[in-house]
């Protein structure tokens, strides 16, 4: 059994988490900012963090760049927005046309949609570039999809799989490396999946249901995932060129996004617990753990977190970018803007839902890191 690694200190975890958030906020909000500039929007401020301003400066275009007191997010505030959620100020209707044409709220619908989508999009691009850099510099991990060992009493053993069997497809999708099978199994806990198995010149389809198991990582974090009991060896790091690396990075980013979607779907349907998502405290703990393993592990985790950030922001929840895009889609269908009262209700509802979710996740995080256990000992 692998020895547990020591937990990094609170200060180290907090510092690395703030550093990662700072980078990803600049990336995400930079997407909105650059797209807004592309379409000639006036921008009041580009802020890292929320709350009161600590330090800031104005550029030659009049945009205020500032660092705020709470370093857990950020925003780009376009001229004419009442708040960071980009709700328009009703007073803008009285402005002359020459002034309105530079304001985000009066831009054509397709331009507003691009500006909003640019934030999540650049998160995916950022992750793709990181992964491509890894594949160019270190190689792309490839393990032949051939079973070298079948664990006794496992799901794979019960299905009649044997060492030497080659898995050629998963759920009808061809595969050339074991990593693709492993990733699929990890998120398919308790869900049936179909493997196409080649043996002795013949192929057959086998339907299996990965067993749900709980495991601890090197830091003692417990996770639930699927297991077939099918092992493969012979992993190699294959050197690839820039074009191939980009293609592989795009594919892997897509597959990670699909895994996130599957996991969220399982949480919604009750297959997985909401506590498995993790909140800001758990994210900070895991960030510190990954950073303690070295710069490469930290950068790789940042790429994964960037994909999560891009995906979550595309969910059709008001207050998130996906919520804005949903309202724009309704506006396109209706061929007229949505009423201010409806937008206000939608954003307030979205805000309440997000705050409730964050409260629940933070509560689970506090339990996971042992805060309640410590408090009970103090009280007892």
> Among candidates 377, 293, 354, which has minimal Cα distance to 85?
354
Q: What is the largest CA-CA distance in the chain?
A: 78
Which backbone phi and psi does 41 adopt, to 5 degrees? -80, 140
- Contact between 176 and 169 under an 8 Å Cβ cutoff? The reply is no
Give how far Cα 309 sits from Cα of 94, 125, 173, Å. Answer: 37, 12, 27
Q: Which residues 6+ apart lie within 8 Å of 196 measured at CB?
A: 167, 168, 169, 170, 172, 203, 204, 205, 206
Tokens of 77: 């505030």
Beta-carbon contacts of 215 under 8 Å, excluding residues fewer than 6 positions away, are: 222, 223, 225
Helix-helix angle 371-379:340-368, to 10 degrees = 60
- Residue 321 structure tokens: 């970018």
Interatomic CA distance for residues 361 and 365, integer angstroms:
6
**Sequential DSSP letters for 80-113:** TBSSTT-PBPGGGGGS-HHHHTTSGGGS-HHHHH
| φ, ψ at 141 (rounded to 5°) | -70, 125
Q: How far apart are CA 61 and CA 36, in angstroms?
A: 13
* Catalytic site includes residue 29: yes
Strands 211-216 and 222-227: antiparallel
**CA–CA dist 278, 255 (Å, integer):** 21
Of 193, 357, 180, residue with least CA distance to 267: 357
Q: Annotated catalytic residue: which of 29, 84, 236, 344?
A: 29
Q: Long-range contacts of range 341-349, CB-CB < 8 Å, 24 or more positions apart?
A: 343/87, 344/87, 346/318, 347/85, 347/87, 347/318, 347/319, 347/323, 349/318
Helix then strand then coil, in percent of the chain rounded to 5, is 50, 20, 25
252's CB contacts (< 8 A; 6+ apart) are: 131
Point out the residues that are catalytic: 29
């Amino acid at each position: 059994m692998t020895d547990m690694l020591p937990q990094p200190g609170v200060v180290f975890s907090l510092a690395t988490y703030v550093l990662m958030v700072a980078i990803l906020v600049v990336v995400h909000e930079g997407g909105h900012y650059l797209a807004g500039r592309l379409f000639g929007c006036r921008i009041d401020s580009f802020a890292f963090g929320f709350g009161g301003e600590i330090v800031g400066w104005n550029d030659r275009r009049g945009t205020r760049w500032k660092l705020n007191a709470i370093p857990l997010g950020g925003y780009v505030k376009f001229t004419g927005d009442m708040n960071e959620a980009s709700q328009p100020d009703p007073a803008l209707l009285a402005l002359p046309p020459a002034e309105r044409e530079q304001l985000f709220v009066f831009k054509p619908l397709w331009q507003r949609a691009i500006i909003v989508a640019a934030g999540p999009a650049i998160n995916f691009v950022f992750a793709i570039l990181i992964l491509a850099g890894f594949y160019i510099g270190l190689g792309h991990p490839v393990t032949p999809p051939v079973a070298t060992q079948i664990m006794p009493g496992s799901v794979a053993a019960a299905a009649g799989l044997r060492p030497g069997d080659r898995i050629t497809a998963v759920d009808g999708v061809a595969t050339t490396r074991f990593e693709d099978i492993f990733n699929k199994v990890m998120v398919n806990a308790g869900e049936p999946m179909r493997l196409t198995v080649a043996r002795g010149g013949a192929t057959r389809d086998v339907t299996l249901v990965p067993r749900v198991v709980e495991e601890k990582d090197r830091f003692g974090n417990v996770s639930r995932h699927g297991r077939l009991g099918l092992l493969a060896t012979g992993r190699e790091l294959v050197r690839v060129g820039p074009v191939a690396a980009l293609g592989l990075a795009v594919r892997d980013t897509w597959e990670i996004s699909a895994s996130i979607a599957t996991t969220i779907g399982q949480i919604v349907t009750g297959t997985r617990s909401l506590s498995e998502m993790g909140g800001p405290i758990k994210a900070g703990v895991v960030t510190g753990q990954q950073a303690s393993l070295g710069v490469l592990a930290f950068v790789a985790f940042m790429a994964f977190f960037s994909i999560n950030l891009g995906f979550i922001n595309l969910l059709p929840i008001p207050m998130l970018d996906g919520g804005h895009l949903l309202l724009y889609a309704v506006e396109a269908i209706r061929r007229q803007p949505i009423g201010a009262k409806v937008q206000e209700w939608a954003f307030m509802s979205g805000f309440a839902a997000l705050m409730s979710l964050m409260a629940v996740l933070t509560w689970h995080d506090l339990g996971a890191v042992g805060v309640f256990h410590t408090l009970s000992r103090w009280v007892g």
